[in-house]
Structure 1
Amino acid sequence: MIYIIVFLILFAGMLLYIKLANKYLIIDRPNDRSSHTTPTVRGGGVIFVLSILIAGVYYYSDYGIPVLGVLLIGTISFLDDNMNISKLLRFFFHLLAVTLLFAYDQVFVLPIWAIIALYILVVGIINAYNFMDGINGITGLYSLVILGALQYVNIYQFSFIEPDLIWFPMLACVVFLYFNFRKKALVFAGDVGSIVMAFWIVFLLLDLILKSSNWLYILFLTVYGVDSILTIIHRLILRQNIFEAHRLHFYQVLANDQKMSHRLVAFIYAFLQVAICVFVIQSNLNPILTFLLTPLFLVIIYIIVKPKLMQQSM
């Protein structure tokens, strides 16, 4: 019953937000870097924040610190969606939220070099996840896959967190996809959506990894990771500023240059991540071999196929 109530609250919340966003012109207008062509409501990812806050109310005494991190990073991201926030201020809030996450997971008992490496890794993942949010359905579907994989592990293999802290964000993904997974989306996630979801997934993954001592779970981010890392390398080769907006991600080449349906591209990314999650969960191979083999297929596709597709569109 609680899940039906939460679903209805989230659905009503999305309808209300869309109405307010249209009234106050919280609109994403297309530019030459966009993958859409019509003005669309921006910031619908506030539904992810709402779902985590509801879970936080239920389990505040146990998870108040990471939920506070969501509030901090969600607030600055929503403001950044609607006004010109300095990069330094945005970075400060990201660091503050990640510090709360680390405090909750007792990361600060690790050696200083490991703490610094984790800061770089976590902030990098959050920003990469945000950069991957560029076509209809990709953030909602991909997040739903990762949360589903984490919930499977949580329920059937290694219990590491209250299930509702995964169920509620999954419900938010379903609600968001209803409005976003369309040929013409009614709403975009915005930074508030992609960054908050990235932060929460990193929180769940880090909690699972530290409690289980199994770093292979980081492979739940393989598809985004391969596209993000290889695109950065590609842009460095082209001597581009990697911090500026662009259209060189593999998914952007498929959607923009090859004119492939946004929904099909999002589905392909989600499907590939499902296959990888199943492989990671079920694999009996040596952990190092699993870690090396898992991204190899995607790396080969990226290196061979992407240049050919880009040449065809020239």
Structure 2
Amino acid sequence: MSLISLSPLYFSALTAYLLGWPGYGLLLRLGVIDKPNARSSHGVPTVRGGGVSIIATILCAITLWLCIETGAGSQKTILAAVGGAVLVLAGVSFMDDLRSVGARLRFGCHAAAALAVLLTAGIPRTAFGGNLGLVVTAGLALVGFLWVAGHTNAFNFMDGINGLAAGQAVITGLATAGLAWAVGLTPDHPIIWLALITAGAAAGFFPHNFPRARMFMGDVSSAPLGFLLAVLGWWLACEAGWWLLLPVGLIHANFVLDTGFTLVRRILRGERWHEPHREHFYQRLVRSGRSHADVTLRELALQSINAGVVIYAVKAGGGWVLLAAVLVAAVWIGFFLYAERGFRASKA
């Protein structure tokens, strides 16, 4: 991609960064403060909800695209639905930042947003026909729903230390654009455009949150970002082929696997899985004595390398994607075992 084709990345980064300053002042005046407790990973009161600058940037960009672009057809419909869903999720999530919102309402909104995407973006096409084709299509519809709704929650759960969620959004946004480019989509395609906008907006917020956090992203941004990144991957599979679901999953593997393993562990212990906690592997690393910056940089470095491997594998074709899947899974499982061993050693 040329520097010009990356212009959405630059403009959204600058916009989100600049919006962060007045956003901080407004949230401070409103008293939207995250106070430390036994289930948090920070030690001082910090402004929460600063990620509103990310969402404002993304929604303004989508609105501008819808007003300017002509003749986009179904792509315009999908983008309008995505923008509407992001707005609703951000609204409900901001209410949760201001005062706790019931889990049923939050998860209900996540489910409704996922269904809206399936109804507009559709289901990835397959070569199967007849009854088998119907079964496969139904299965993919279920996968799509679980993927979008589940990743919305997973991303929200993983926003717990300085810079991790924002950095993840930058890398996975860029990786999604890279996958789209690798399968032949042009830089002006709305998937690549929106992926760059998302990555740029998260990058603009990053300096406000890392290495020391002036403000936290908050649910107002973490839930919509998780939704948006999942939607971009699903939309890409609908456009270019169902087999891309594997590479898409691989570029999100660290958040998905960390959330999945932690969720299973909490359920087996009989704990309330949807309540805040400090049991994720990245949180265990912090609890073992490592700084937020150390843990974030380690995980983002691995994520960057893995994303590059996946893009290369998709571009190379053949069995490279399966090889990349084995490699990525091994890297993250190894990282989690490293985190677990460090945590247990610190408690010995």
**What TM-score do the two structures reach when normalised by structure 1?**
0.90
Indicate whether 1:20 and 2:36 are aligned: no
Partner letter of residue 140 of structure 2?
Answer: A
Does structure 1 residue 199 correspond to structure 2 residue 215?
no
SS state at 2:41 partner: coil
**Structure 1 unmatched runs, 5+:** none
- Measure how far apart 1:289 and its partner are: 4.4
Q: Is the 8 A contact 2:13 2:205 kept in 1?
A: no
How many percent identity over aligned positions?
26
Pairing 1:111-150 to 2, within 5 Å after superposition: 111-150=137-176
Matches within 5 A, 1:180-195: 180-183=209-212, 185-195=213-223
Cα distance in 1, alignment partners of residues 310 and 269 from structure 2? 34
Distance 1:98 1:141 in 2: 24
From 152, 159, 170, the counterpart of 2:199: 170
Alpha-carbon distance in 1 for matches of 2:12, 2:311: 29
Query: Contact between 2:81 and 2:116, CA under 8 Å: does it hold in 1?
Result: yes
Task: Tell me if the contact between 1:223 and 1:272 (Cα under 8 Å) persists in the aligned partners.
Answer: no
2:307 equivalent among 262, 277, 284:
277
Matched with 2:262 is 231
Partner secondary structure for residue 277 of structure 2: coil
Deviation (angstroms), 1:107: 3.1
Query: Take 1:226 and 1:167, find their aligned partners in 2: how far apart are those partners?
Result: 25
Partner amino acid, structure 2, of 1:64: A
Q: Which amino acid aligns with 1:202?
A: A
1:33 counterpart residue number: 39
Structure 1 residues 38, 307: closer, same or farther in 2, change over 3 A?
Answer: same
Question: 63-72 or 208-217: which moved more?
Answer: 208-217
- Give the secondary structure class of the aligned counterpart of 1:167: helix
Q: Deviations over 1:111-148 (max 9, x none)?
A: 43432332223211111111110000001111111111
8 Å contact from structure 1 (residues 29, 39) kept in 2: yes
Amino acid at match of 1:175: G
What SS class does the counterpart of residue 159 from structure 1 fall into? coil
Unaligned runs of 5+ in 2: 70-75, 126-133
2:257 and 2:103 map into 1 onto residues whose CA distance is: 25
Distance 1:308 1:136 in 2: 20
Contact 1:45 1:192 in 2 (8 A): yes
TM-score, normalised by the number of residues in structure 2: 0.82
- 8 Å CA contact 1:43–1:78 kept in 2: the answer is yes
CA RMSD of superposed structures (Å) = 2.4
Distance 1:182 1:98 in 2: 33
- Aligned partner of 2:208: which letter? F
Using the TM superposition, give the Cα deviation of residue 265 of structure 1 relative to its aligned residue in structure 2, in angstroms: 0.9
Give 1:42's aligned amino acid: R
Aligned residues: 312
Counterpart contact for 1:140–1:177, Cα < 8 Å = yes
List per-residue Cα deviations over 1:57-79 (Å, max 9, x = no partner). Answer: 23226121111111111111111
Which residue, out of 97, 106, 109, partners 1:81?
97
Q: Please tell me the residue identity of whatever aligns with 1:176.
A: F
* Amino acid in structure 1 at the alignment position of 2:273: I
Aligned partner of 1:97 among 91, 105, 113: 113
Residue identity in the other structure for 1:154: A
The CA deviation at 1:238 is 3.1
Secondary structure (helix, strand or coil) at the match of 1:242 reads coil
Q: Find the aligned partners of 1:302 and 1:177 in 2 and give their Cα distance.
A: 24
Distance 1:277 1:5 in 2: 23
Deviations 1:204-225 (A, max 9, x none): 1111122222222210101112
In 1, Cα distance between equivalents of 2:161 and 2:19:
23
SS in 2 for 1:41: strand
CA contact (8 A) 2:122 2:238 kept: no
